[in-house]
């Protein structure tokens, strides 16, 4: 544990130094190829950074937040786009927060949104409720030997949603408290999705969705616009899911340390193909035919969960990464409990 803390300190200092360089030096270089070249050493450092860690959670967070998301934000920054662009008037602390953390500025006049407002049925869960449900899920997992494998995988689906939303939500709350920035929630009740477009585009992991929209979807759509016209968004959607799949494959490789099986890439490619078919059908029918949300909702969530059980979780289960993750959660819960009891003892 001491070695992991030392590695965390070294990695944190390296990342802070890199982002200070980006803020004060790279930002002064003209946007475009020259600025991109100035960022190449940072890209390399951020890609290799997860190798500092041996524990699963620090490795996963570094792979997701830094190797993937921060690098994509810096790639946009090279061309003066995205949350780090010079026209955002970022202070150093704001620049570092936006680069490192999975946050998305709430849409307003300064940051216009291209998303269509939705009015779905509401069943919101606050952060405390999600923490409670995740804690219960970790406890239930101890008895998974008594359950059918499909129920265990369904439990894993719920745990992934809760854990991602908790981690992103904690960072959102921290940044809002310190910098007083209005941030969008990490997700928008994905369990109430009524279509794949609704799930992937408007509800699940909105910060990552927004980043892929700017780094992959818009450039591909723009480059194919003159050739395909109004159908250009369809290959752009497929390209976004392919890139997401490859980045998840890299993340899984970092976590499992096993040769890629390409199952997780196939999971996202399959989601992309099905979403392209859904969008094509919507264009074909022109919105004249639509299932009621009470029917389309279970079909959508059921499809995502079933394909995740088939392709997303098997690489993690084969490598034992699922058990390691749950054990580290228990270690963290035990640590919080012990420290909490010590703090209460001092008060008494």
Q: Summarize pLDDT for 284-327 with one digit per residue, the tens.
A: 877 666 778 888 899 999 999 999 999 999 999 999 999 999 99
- List, in order, residues 6 or more apart from 144 with CB less than 8 Å away: 152, 155
Q: Summarize pLDDT for 38-80 with one digit per residue, the tens.
A: 999 999 999 999 888 888 888 899 999 999 999 999 999 999 9
CA distance 324 to 329: 9
Q: Which of 278, 110, 302, 108 is nearest to 201 (CA)?
A: 278
**3 state DSSP class of 83:** coil
- List, in order, residues 6 or more apart from 283 with CB less than 8 Å away: 230
Where would I find the beta strands (DSSP E) of the chain? Answer: none
Predicted confidence (pLDDT) at residue 110 exceeds the cutoff of 50:
no
- Helix 321-347 × helix 127-141 angle, to 10°: 120
**3 state DSSP class of 105:** strand
**3 state DSSP class of 286:** coil
Q: Summarize pLDDT for 187-228 with one digit per residue, the tens.
A: 999 999 999 999 999 999 999 999 999 999 999 999 998 888
Tell me the pLDDT band of 6, cut-offs 50, 70 and 90: confident
**3 state DSSP class of 183:** strand
Task: Return left, alpha or beta for 330; rule: phi > 0 is left, psi -120 to 50 is alpha, else beta.
Answer: alpha
pTM for the whole thing? 0.87
Cα–chain-centroid distance for residue 203? 12
Alpha carbon separation from 162 to 72, 186, 329 (Å, rounded):
25, 11, 13
Beta bridge partners of 183: 105
At residue 347, the pLDDT reads 72
């Amino acid at each position: 544990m001491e070695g992991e803390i030392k590695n965390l300190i070294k990695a944190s200092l390296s990342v802070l130094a890199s982002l200070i360089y980006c803020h004060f030096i790279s930002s002064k270089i003209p946007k475009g190829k020259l600025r991109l070249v100035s960022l190449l050493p940072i890209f390399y450092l951020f890609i290799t950074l997860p190798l500092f860690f041996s524990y699963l959670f620090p490795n996963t967070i570094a792979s997701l937040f830094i190797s993937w998301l921060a690098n994509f934000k810096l790639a946009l920054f090279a061309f003066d786009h995205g949350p780090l662009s010079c026209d955002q008037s970022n202070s150093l602390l704001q620049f570092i927060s936006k680069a490192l953390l999975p946050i998305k500025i709430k849409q307003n006049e300064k940051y216009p949104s291209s998303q269509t407002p939705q009015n779905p049925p509401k069943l919101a869960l606050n952060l405390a409720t999600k923490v409670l449900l995740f804690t219960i899920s970790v406890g239930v997992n101890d008895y998974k030997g008594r359950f059918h494998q499909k129920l265990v995988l369904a439990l894993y689906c719920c745990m992934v949603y809760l854990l991602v939303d908790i981690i992103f939500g904690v960072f959102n709350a921290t940044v809002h408290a310190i910098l007083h920035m209005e941030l969008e929630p990490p997700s928008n009740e994905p369990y109430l999705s009524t279509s794949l477009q609704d799930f992937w585009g408007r509800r699940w992991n909105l910060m990552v969705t927004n980043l892929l929209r700017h780094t992959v979807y818009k450039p591909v759509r723009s480059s194919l616009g003159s050739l395909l016209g109004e159908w250009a968004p369809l290959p752009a959607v497929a390209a976004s899911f392919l890139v997401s799949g490859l980045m998840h494959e890299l993340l899984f490789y970092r976590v499992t340390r096993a040769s890629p099986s390409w199952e997780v890439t196939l999971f996202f490619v399959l989601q992309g193909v099905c979403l392209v078919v859904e969008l094509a059908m919507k264009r074909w029918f022109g919105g004249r035919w639509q299932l009621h949300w009470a029917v389309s909702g279970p079909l959508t969530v059921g499809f995502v969960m079933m394909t995740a059980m088939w392709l997303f979780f098997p690489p993690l289960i084969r490598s034992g990464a699922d058990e390691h993750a749950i054990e580290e959660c228990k270690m963290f819960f035990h640590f919080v409990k012990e420290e909490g009891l010590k703090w209460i003892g001092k008060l008494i």
